[in-house]
Chain A
């Protein structure tokens, strides 16, 4: 049974006479509980795909389907990039945001919020405002907010892109442990191969202009994984090199595409 089913999805942005095919004929099926990473060069439409799934953008053609397991559960929640934490709400109110917007019972909001504050280790910071938090802590808030909302699927838009290496590793491991507890379906955007290898059950490799899926790579490394496992696995090293080659070619082609002779 597929959790997310995307069929023939295309998105064309039109600006005056010019148009840009951000996505072209995307077919994708994601199973319940899968952790899928969308990997591609910048401008390959991966963010657009996520924004369509989160209903912030409408597709030009094609359909998306997210299967509902329980009534009253929101279909999806997004973990935004670092700026997505609302600065005028405290850590606690940020985590409770989704539940409050759906007007859940105050008691329920309180218990769930407390639970997720605890899970991301922010319970003693719950009364602080985001300006007082580090980048890593802000992303913990963002992750807790999305999980606390208990959606059918979670969408993550390069949530760790702005973090330094050490913080990134810590947060990746924390995310995996929360994910393993909840068994949610996750669609995660990244441009980091290492990140995709560590997190994903499947890597969907995209190419740009128009954005299409070029490869669907299963990652069979057993969980729980560590970065050491990823680095020492021969199989994953080969995948890394393949993906790296693809991305290099893409970036190069784009550069030639943009050079003055071809413009």
Chain B
């Protein structure tokens, strides 16, 4: 039995797994023995049973699917124009000169601070939540895409020119694939920001979603239910970054 363990899990993997496991055990023990107040820090086992109960009643899926829908569409709404504008900025310096100041003006403003304006512009429906995510995702992606294009080694531009690539071929064979690695880093960043934004936005101005779930249960002093919300965010954050990493492997076989 022992030898089998040894062959399937390496020491670094074991250490990596050990830290969250230790955290959970310590938390469980401290909470069960009431060394930390179990009203504010319920034991992990209780949080899990609460999660199962909430899943059974169906309310969990409603909140999760609402948040995921907002994230998905908001993400697309932000990433697509960001990639297009970023590529154009990277390829043509006059566009870069033109767009840079506008981006610099809006980038430092937290998207949440713009929530009132977003609500005025897009109403209180689903679309305004998607737009909130779209705006927050837009900036890291547009900046990384532009940087990705301008960091492409000049020699590939020379190769493309020497072999008479037209504008369309240059875009698809040189600019886009050459910018891809840095662009995907921007998308990875955008993904983290999207999650951050949606939870905060749902806490402020929504009546559904994971953020709403956390805030409402806190107000109602249903602390285990609140922790379920936190657990879900952590889980989806991890899942998204796994998905993006898989996408990266698929898109960048040459790296």
Q: Is there contact, CB below 8 Å, between B159 and A56?
A: no
- Give the residue of B155, B174, B253 whose beta carbon is less than 8 angstroms from that of A80: B155
Q: A: which residues have CB within 8 A of B?
A: 54-56, 74, 76-78, 80-81, 83-84, 86-89, 97-98, 100-102, 129-131, 145, 149
CB of A7, distance to nearest CB on chain B (Å): 23
In the complex, chain A residues whose CB is within 8 Å of the CB of B169? 100-101
Q: A56-B158, A88-B254 are in contact. List 16 more A-B contacts (CB 8 A).
A: A55-B162, A76-B162, A77-B162, A78-B159, A80-B155, A81-B155, A86-B156, A88-B177, A88-B178, A100-B169, A100-B173, A101-B163, A101-B173, A102-B164, A131-B254, A149-B163
Query: Which DSSP category, helix, strand, loop or mixed, fits chain B's interface?
Result: helix
Q: In the complex, what residues of B have CB within 8 A of residue A131's CB?
A: 254-255
For B158, the closest partner residue in chain A by CB is A56
Q: Mark B49-79, 1 if CB is under 8 A from A, else 0.
A: 0000000000000000000000000000000
Residue ID in chain B nearest A76 by CB atoms: B162
A86 adjacent to B159 (CB under 8 Å)? yes
- Mark contacts of B165-192 with chain A using CB atoms, 8 A cut-off: 1 yes-contact digit, 0 otherwise: 1100100011001101000000000000
CB-CB under 8 A from A149, the residues of chain B are: 163
- Per a CB cutoff under 8 Å, which of A55, A83, A129 touches B253? A129
B173 to chain A: which residues have CB within 8 Å? 86, 89, 97, 100-101
Which B residues are CB-close (under 8 A) to A83?
153, 155
* Smallest CB separation, A28 vs chain B (Å): 20
Instruction: List, in ascending order, chain B residues with CB within 8 A of A130's CB.
Output: 254
CA distance A129 to B253 in the complex (A): 8
Tell whether A84 pairs with B164 under 8 Å between CB atoms, given A129-B253, A129-B254: no
Chain A nearest Cβ from B253, distance in angstroms: 7
Indicate if the CB atoms of B165 and A80 lie closer than 8 Å.
Answer: no
Contacts of B155 in A (CB 8 A): 80-81, 83-84
A101 near B165 with CB under 8 A, answer: yes
User: B91 on the interface (CB 8 Å rule)?
Assistant: no
B202-245 residues at the A interface, CB under 8 angstroms: none
Closest to B176 in A: A88
In the complex formed, the residue of B with least CB distance to A149 is B163
The answer to whether the Cβ of B196 comes within 8 Å of any Cβ in the partner chain is no
Contacting residues, chain B, for A145 (C-beta < 8 A): 163
Q: Quick one: closest A residue to B181, CB to CB?
A: A88
What is the CA–CA distance of A77 and B162 in the complex, to the nearest angstrom?
6
Jot down 12 A-B pairs with beta carbons below 8 A, ordered by A.
A56-B161, A76-B162, A80-B159, A81-B155, A83-B155, A84-B155, A86-B174, A101-B160, A101-B163, A102-B163, A130-B254, A149-B163
Chain A residues contacting B252 (CB-CB under 8 Å) are 88
A237-B23 Cα distance, complex, nearest whole Å: 77
**In the assembled complex, which residues on chain A have CB atoms less than 8 Å from the CB atom of B153?**
83
A140 to B255, CA, bound (A): 21
Kindly name the residue among B153, B163, B174 whose own CB sees the greatest number of chain A CB atoms within 10 A: B163
- Whether the pair A74, B159 counts as a contact (CB closer than 8 A) is no
How distant is A41 from chain B, measured CB to nearest CB, in Å? 23
